[in-house]
Structure 1
Amino acid sequence: MKDIKDVNESHAPKGNKRTSSAKLIGKLITSAVVLIAVIVLFFAFFVTKIDNGNVGVVYKISGGVQDEMLSQGWHVILPTERVIEYPVRTQTVSYDGLAVATVDGKALSMPVSLNYHVDPEKASAVYKKFGNVSIEDLQAGYIQSRSQDALRQVVSQYTVIETFGEKTGEIKNGTLERLAADLENIGIIIEDVIVNPPQPDEETQKAIDERVKATQNLERTKTDKEIAKQEAERKIIEAEGEKKANEIRSKSLTPEIIQEKLIEKWDGKQPITIGGEGIIVDFNQKNE
């Protein structure tokens, strides 16, 4: 019995060591899990990332909108703070068709595209005006409505034919000018506007074709008139040149030169008749 007791006592410390090691490993795993959870919670509630090309506007529950912007990168914030991002590099947004009307009452749906960005110095002003609204919601709401209003005011000054043709450049520039002035004050910078002609209906297309044909005929008439004018001027110049040449020749024909020319053409036999008055020159008689 004594030997058995000694054996049990000799094995007891090894079991205790194994139990202690298992408890230590368990504590370490638990600590690691807790640490990871703390880190995850910290990043979830205390850290925010501002994407490249954006700025962040901070709103504090106790202090309202902060004037200082958050640049791109990671930032530590408090749980009582909220951050909304605005793009400060060029963004492009397209609208399939904005409803407008021409000066002659034709209703049109015109596709429009915008290039814009938010002024980083006025990003807080954008937040103050619109609150916790994303830039996508602004594009689909306020920016679209202001774009439609600017285009409507410009198109209403032109006829439907002008809208489809020769005045498209003026419509684009007018829309850009109005929209840029409208949105700049609130911190949205319009860089460019692209106004595409709408798809004409059958009646409008017929009117456009007739206008194009009339324009082509007018240009052809102008061209023909210009050609005729140039031809008449050419003939006048030629006639004036011929007249001056004759005058110079007449002044240079002295009696001696005339006689010399006659002698060159005389065959030595028959008298020469000059002009329509029947003047006859007989060199044989003169020689006699």
Structure 2
Amino acid sequence: MSKMRLIIWGAVLLLAGLFLVNSCTTVDASHEGIKVSKIGSDRGASDIENVTGWIFYNPLTSFIEQYPTFTQTKDFDPFQVSAKGGTLFKIDPTLNYHLVKGQGANVYRKYRKELPDIENNILRTIVYNSYRDVANSFSPDSLVNNRAGFEEQVEAKLRKALGDDGFSFENITSGLMPPESLQAMIDAKNTAVQNALRLNNQIASEKASAEIAVTKANGIARAKVIEAEAEARANELKQKTLTPMLIQQQWISKWNGQLPTTQLGANSSTLIQMPVK
């Protein structure tokens, strides 16, 4: 009989230990814990409390749901939205967000889902609707050429929609891609613009080179004119200064005193007649 009692007490203690293990958990500072009652048809939607640290609860009547409060990165599957006129653009978004502290109870009360389920359903719908609504207000060309403005409007809608649900928007990358036909047109247009700019630059360069050559030629011609004018002026001055007396003096200074050996005419003279004073 005593042996049976020991077995019974051992089983009771084991069950009690298992119960205690399953009725205790901890919520660290990077999460927000929510204690939810299982009692009632509402599953305790009106009886939810935020909890932190070590939590003891009755697993038969309640449970603990935890939501992280640090930054979450969700890479959604790509989807398509249409611009004005029906042109389809591909969006491949990646969202960074976090739960606002103190909003865990409201999030659970509203959706009664774990965070992965909320991301794959609720948040995806919010992201899709934001892109769809904004894209419908842009023409295809403006959507491509004013991508920054498009994304700013999307972010504004996401910031409000997520804030209404207890989440804080941080940033999002759109991964916006136009259809292949439109992208080909854009590439061709960009190529044409680049070629035009290159041609204009080449023309401007050649024009500048031609102007430099003309300027240089004009400078050379002007220099020659100035040089010719200077030489003519010098010759004119020389003519004015070459008096007969000066010429005779220069001849005498260069004469070596020898008479010429060639027979001159009868009237010729080898000496310069000095003027008589």
Conserved? CA contact 1:175–1:193, under 8 Å? no
Aligned amino acid, residue 206 of structure 1: S
Q: 2:190 aligns with which of 186, 205, 215?
A: 215
Shift of 1:151: 0.5
The CA deviation at 1:109 is: 4.8
Counterpart CA distance in 2 for 1:101 and 1:84 is: 39
- List gaps (5 residues or longer) in structure 2: 38-43, 249-277
Structure 2 Cα separation of the partners of residues 134 and 242 of structure 1: 84
Partners of 1:287 and 1:122 lie apart in 2 by 119
Distance, in Å, in 2 between the alignment partners of 1:156 and 1:176 is 15
Match of 2:68 in 1: 87
**Could you say which residue in structure 2 is the equivalent of 1:31?**
9
**Post-superposition offset of 1:216:** 0.5
Aligned CA distance change for structure 1 residues 257 and 80 (closer, same or farther; 3 Å): farther
The aligned residue for residue 127 of structure 1 is 108
- In the alignment of these two chains, the number of paired residues is 239
Q: Give 1:177 deviation, angstroms.
A: 3.0
1:65 corresponds to: 48
Note closer, same or farther for the CA distance 1:217–1:34 as it changes in structure 2 (3 Å cut): same
For residue 199 of structure 2, the aligned residue among 219, 224, 236 is: 224
Cα pair 2:100 2:166 within 8 Å, conserved:
yes
Aligned equivalent of 1:140, options 120, 132, 137: 120
RMSD over aligned CA atoms reads: 4.1
Looking at both structures, which has the greater relative contact order when contacts are Cα pairs under 8 Å and sequence separation is at least 6? 2
Measured in 2, the distance between the counterparts of 1:93 and 1:124 equals 22
Q: What TM-score comes out, normalization by structure 2 length? A: 0.67
The one-letter code matched in structure 1 to 2:198 is: T
Taking the TM superposition and a 5 Å limit, the aligned residue runs for 1:1-288 are 24-44=2-22, 46-50=23-27, 53-59=30-36, 61=44, 64-66=47-49, 69-71=50-52, 74-78=54-58, 80-130=61-111, 132-160=112-140, 163=143, 166-198=145-177, 204-240=179-215, 242-243=217-218, 247=222, 250=225, 255=230, 259=234
Deviation at 1:179, TM superposition (A): 0.6
Deviation at 1:242, TM superposition (A): 5.0
CA distance in 2, matches of 1:113, 1:31: 56
Q: What is the rounded CA distance, in whole Å, between the counterparts of 1:235 and 1:63 in structure 2?
A: 87
- Structure 1: gaps spanning 5 or more residues: 1-22, 264-282
Does the C-alpha gap of structure 1 residues 119 and 287 become closer, same or farther in structure 2, counting only changes over 3 Å?
Answer: farther
In the aligned structure 2, how far is the partner of 1:206 from the partner of 1:107?
11
